[in-house]
Amino acid sequence: MDRIMTFALAELDAGLIDDTFKGLPIAAAPVQLGEIGRLGWNLLKGDLPFPVAVLKTSAIDHNSRWMDRFRKEQGVELCPHGKTTMSPHLFQRQLADGAWGITVATTQQLRIARRYGVNRVIMANQLVDPQGIRYVLAEMKRDPGFEFYCLVDSPASVQRLAEIAKTAGVGRPLRLLLEGGIAGGRTGCRTIEQAAAVAKAVVAAQPHVILRGVEGFEGIIDGTTPEERAAKVRAFVDFLGAIAKRGIAENWFGAGEIIATAGGSAEFDIVADAWRNGDFGAPVKVVLRSGCYLTHDSGLYENRFHDIRKRAIASSALTKDGPKAALEVWTLVQSIPEPGLAFVTMGKRDVSFDVSLPVPIAWSPAGASTAEPMQKGYSITKLNDQHGYLRGPADSPLKVGDRVGFGVSHPCTTFDRWQLIYLVDDAYNVTGAIRTFF
């Protein structure tokens, strides 16, 4: 591990978690983050308050090995999107597992990655804020080991970057990736001709900026069936590949490694399959950016993984076993005002609700010290800011004070609701804790 990262993580571990952190036991004295795993706490034995967010380390370990196998079998690199977790300890874990770098979406996320010693960063976004542009250039100047990439999708954005880079005197060019997009989609050039115009602007602005490859994000593509979505994704990845091929043919990219990057957490198999033996006209480093594989989920990505398994276009490692859900939010039953309607201490402030609602997965009656799988027939039907509506059978054995654990759908929007998340083993012993920075 890099020395700066080692030092910064040690500092983070030494930082005090006090009563301003949701999830710290009520009335606990401030405790160092790195000490939390040594206190003998257990979620089911009454040591933690509710609601509380936990990561199962067995699932994280499994997912980490799983992605490592996939990545190596496919011969691609992984630059996981850090925006999912924004957790320096998980960034470190991903880099230790062989990640090529860490992806970020904003200059704020970049600032956190840099603070915690990440040396190679793709900002999978336009870098537009003058403050952010100046910060990146200053970091590049200060640290020759800092390798940074950001996106461009218009000549205007290239000029904006080049103007500031020209006066910054970094001594090496700002590395740009040409973003391809789809009509009606998000950012990115809609046609190869538009991409060529952007590339021309970059070439004209050399040596302050340099084009190092192409980028796209297929995750915004939708379809009425998984097959339709997969076909549209494949077409988009082929479009990005065609931009890269044209760029190589027309010498848009500077000397050195050429990068093609796409692949969120839902269709990375299609990206790898399309590109690993791609006919680009020159060697191209394929970089996936999946951010959610490490924690997976119990909704969106669990469903998307069924599609991946069904497609089976990638390796056996993919189709045999898949990632497991690591992120859970645990709650107390606070009221059962009607038969079949319980309220749990978890609301919009605590858990994802943007894609689908949380999924009850485990139950531990008040006083028990073990959990069992949640019986069928329960679902969260609504969330208020601080309440969850849990519908179940009229003769449910649930009682006020029982604990119910939930899986989430779309980990990104649960991580950002917790600055403190516990690491637990399968018996819910707390083995550590991480911080997030949103």
Least separation in angstroms between CB 61 and a second copy = 26
As measured in angstroms, the least distance from the Cβ of 265 to a second copy is: 12
321, 390 Cβ separation under 8 angstroms: no
Least distance CB 347 / a second copy (angstroms): 8
253 vs 437 by CB, closer to a second copy: 437
3-state secondary structure of 129: coil
Nearest alpha-carbon partner for 237 in 255, 256, 219, 210: 219
> Which residue ranges make up the site for a second copy (CB under 8 A)?
19-20, 22-23, 25-27, 46, 49-50, 83, 105-108, 111-112, 115, 125-126, 128-132, 134-135, 138, 153-154, 156-157, 160, 181, 183-184, 186-190, 220, 332-338, 341, 343, 345, 348-349, 353-354, 384-387, 389, 399-401, 412-413, 416-417, 437-438
* Smaller CB separation from a second copy, 66 or 236: 236
Residue 18 CB partners (closer than 8 Å, separation 6+): 24, 30
Closest CB 12 distance from a second copy, rounded Å = 10
Going by their DSSP bridges, the two strands 209-215 and 77-78 should be labelled as unpaired
Residue 315 Cβ, how far from a second copy at the closest point, in Å?
Answer: 29
Whichever of 268 and 330 has its CB closer to a second copy, that residue is: 330
Q: Which is nearer to a second copy, 166 or 320 (CB)?
A: 166
* Shortest distance, position 319 Cβ to a second copy, whole Å: 29
Q: Least distance to a second copy from the beta carbon of 341, Å?
A: 8
Judged by DSSP in three states, 79 sits in coil
Question: Least distance from C-beta 98 to a second copy, angstroms?
Answer: 25
Give whichever of 126 and 295 is closer to a second copy, judged by the CB atom. 126
Both tokens of 27, joined, read: 């009335």
Other C-beta atoms lying within 10 Å of the C-beta of residue 367: 10
Instruction: Give just the sign of the alpha carbon dihedral 307, 310, 315, 316.
Output: positive
Least gap, CB of 186 to a second copy (angstroms): 6
| Cis? peptide before 226, omega within 30° of 0 | no
For 276-284, which contacts have Cβ atoms below 8 Å and span 24 or more sequence positions?
A: 276/74, 276/75, 276/76, 278/241, 278/244, 279/245, 280/241, 280/244, 280/245, 280/248, 281/245, 281/248, 281/249, 282/248, 282/258, 283/258, 284/213, 284/244, 284/248, 284/258, 284/259, 284/260
Alpha helices in 143-191 (DSSP H): 155-168
Contacts of residue 384, defined as CB under 8 A and 6 or more positions apart, other chains included, come to 347, 348
Q: Which CB sits closer to a second copy, 58 or 369? A: 369
Q: Which of 188, 251, 183 is nearest to 217 (CA)?
A: 188
Contact 85, 291 (CB under 8 A): yes
Residue 81 C-beta: closest distance to a second copy, Å: 9
Q: How far apart are CA 305 and CA 110, in angstroms?
A: 29
Q: Cβ closer to a second copy: 206 or 335?
A: 335
Give the torsion through C-alpha atoms of 61, 63, 64, 67, to 10 deg.
160
Neighbours of 377 (CB within 10 A): 11
